[in-house]
Amino acid sequence: MSFQDNLKEIRKTIERVGKHRDVDVSTIRVVAVSKQQPEERILEALESGYRLFAENRVNDAAKIWGGEQGLKARYDGVELHLIGHLQTNKVKEAVALFDMIETLDSVHLAEELAKEMEKQVRRVPLLIQVNTGEEPQKSGIAPKDLDAFVATCRKLDLPVQGLMCLPPEDEPAGLHFTFLKELSERVNLPKLSMGMSGDFEKAVPFKPDYVRIGSALFGARKV
Ligand SMILES: *Cc1c(COP(=O)(O)O)cnc(C)c1O
């Protein structure tokens, strides 16, 4: 199946669920997760006119998308999101390369991002990753710490727009999407990034701004 065919199927599913739940799905954007995909698949997507992508590692993203020969320079209007943990030693590169960072997950990172954005005079919109399942191996702000963390971000004048989550694999995703939506209303950060290939149907009723889809769009990743 081509990228276009897969995308059409995904949009059809989003519309079907939306209709059933009486949700306007026109604002839901599919973020094409291109991490670990062969470059020809990414090129196929770009040639078909697609422009919204995400990567989970700064180094890998810089190789493919960055620089004068990179895909961002070669295709107008590309929007690239970072969806993996950002180490503070990569903040400079990340602020220069990405158009949204969905994985703000610590006070230290918030401080470094604030400094770097001021230095580069480039305000990159941010989402706070919330560890809704409180899994020790996952990054993200614990729900109980979210209010204080949001206050810190506001003090730093960071362009935080919303929240993202990655539900635990062994729990119903819908519970976590419900929880993230409640949290976003509580802290008044309305943008939501939730749902991947396996669970985006469950995210649609919450009208997320972004669903992050990799394998269902591009096929299985390289190992
Ligand atoms: C890899 C990844 C995705 C996409 O996963 P698929 O199951 O291939 O759709 C979405 N979000 C994050 C944070 C990821 O790391």
pLDDT score of 223: 65
CA nearest ligand 1 atom 6, residue: 214
Q: Could you read off the pLDDT of 101-116 as tens digits, one per residue?
A: 999 999 999 999 999 9
Q: Could you read off the pLDDT of 62-97 as tens digits, one per residue?
A: 999 999 999 999 999 999 999 999 999 999 999 999
Is the CB of 81 inside a 6 Å radius of any atom of ligand 1? no
CA of 196 to the centre of ligand 1 (A): 6
Is the CB of 215 inside a 6 Å radius of any atom of ligand 1? yes
pTM > 0.95: yes or no = yes
CA of 79 to the centre of ligand 1 (A): 17
The minimum-distance atom of ligand 1 relative to the CA of 212 is 10
From residue 194, how far is each of 83, 119, 169, 210 by CA, in Å? Answer: 11, 31, 14, 6
- Helical packing angle, 146-155 and 173-186, nearest 10°: 50
The minimum-distance atom of ligand 1 relative to the CA of 164 is 13
* pLDDT for residue 33 is more than 90: yes
Rounded average pLDDT over 21-33:
96
Q: Please enumerate in sequence order all residues whose Cβ is within 8 A of that of 170, keeping only pairs 6 or more positions apart, or say none.
A: none
The minimum-distance atom of ligand 1 relative to the CA of 83 is 13
pLDDT score of 222: 80
